[in-house]
């Protein structure tokens, strides 16, 4: 199955700064990647669908100007949290959809102080 690598695995940043999270598909060319957010003790919520070479598709309620997604190649999608605030603190997970199942990165724990 596909191997998906996320970086960094955890990050602490100050309010007002921006943070970039990378999601790499190591052995699978992914035209589409998915970004999820998971608040403590809650389920995963889809934030956006990242499309290689075109604009991402955002779920209702997710601010596209705050969560910038770039999918410049078939193996890399990035999520940038701009002007981060403490309420953005969460666990962010990316995934790649294979033929019959999804493969997930190990997640990024973002803490905004």
Partner 1 sequence: AQSVTQLDSHVSVSEGTPVLLRCNYSSSYSPSLFWYVQHPNKGLQLLLKYTSAATLVKGINGFEAEFKKSETSFHLTKPSAHMSDAAEYFCVVSESSGTASKLTFGTGTRLQVTL
Residues forming contacts to partner 1 in the complex (CB under 8 A) are 4, 6, 10, 31-32, 34, 41-46, 49, 91, 93, 95, 97-107, 109
Cβ atoms 50, 32 nearer than 8 A: yes
Q: Which of residues 55 and 82 has its CB atom nearest to partner 1 in the complex?
A: 55
Closest to partner 1 by CB, 16 vs 39, is: 39
Q: How many CB atoms lie within 10 A of CB 104?
A: 17
Q: Are 61 and 105 within 8 A, CB to CB?
A: no
Q: What minimum distance in Å lies between the beta carbon of 26 and partner 1?
A: 14
- For the CB of residue 19, give the shortest distance to partner 1 in the complex, in Å: 17
Checking phi first, is residue 61 left (phi over 0); if not, alpha (psi -120 to 50) or beta? left
Shortest Å distance, C-beta 64 to partner 1: 18
Long-range own/partner contacts, residues 64-71 (CB < 8 A, 24 or more apart): 67/35, 69/35, 71/33
Which residue, 19 or 96, is less far from partner 1 as judged by CB?
96
Q: In this complex, which beta carbon is closest to partner 1, that of residue 16 or of residue 44? A: 44
The minimum distance between CB 68 and partner 1, in angstroms, equals 21
Distance separating alpha carbons of residues 59 and 49, to the nearest angstrom: 8
């Amino acid at each position: 199955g596909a191997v998906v690598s996320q970086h960094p695995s955890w990050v602490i940043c100050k309010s007002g700064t921006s943070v970039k999270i990378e999601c790499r598909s190591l052995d699978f060319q992914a035209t589409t990647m998915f970004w999820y957010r998971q608040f403590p003790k809650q389920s995963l919520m889809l934030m956006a669908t990242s499309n290689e070479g075109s604009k991402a598709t955002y779920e209702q309620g997710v601010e596209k100007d705050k969560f910038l997604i770039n999918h410049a190649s078939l193996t890399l999608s990035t999520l940038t949290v701009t002007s981060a605030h403490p309420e953005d603190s969460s666990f962010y997970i990316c995934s790649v959809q294979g033929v019959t199942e999804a493969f997930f990165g190990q997640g990024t724990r973002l803490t905004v102080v």
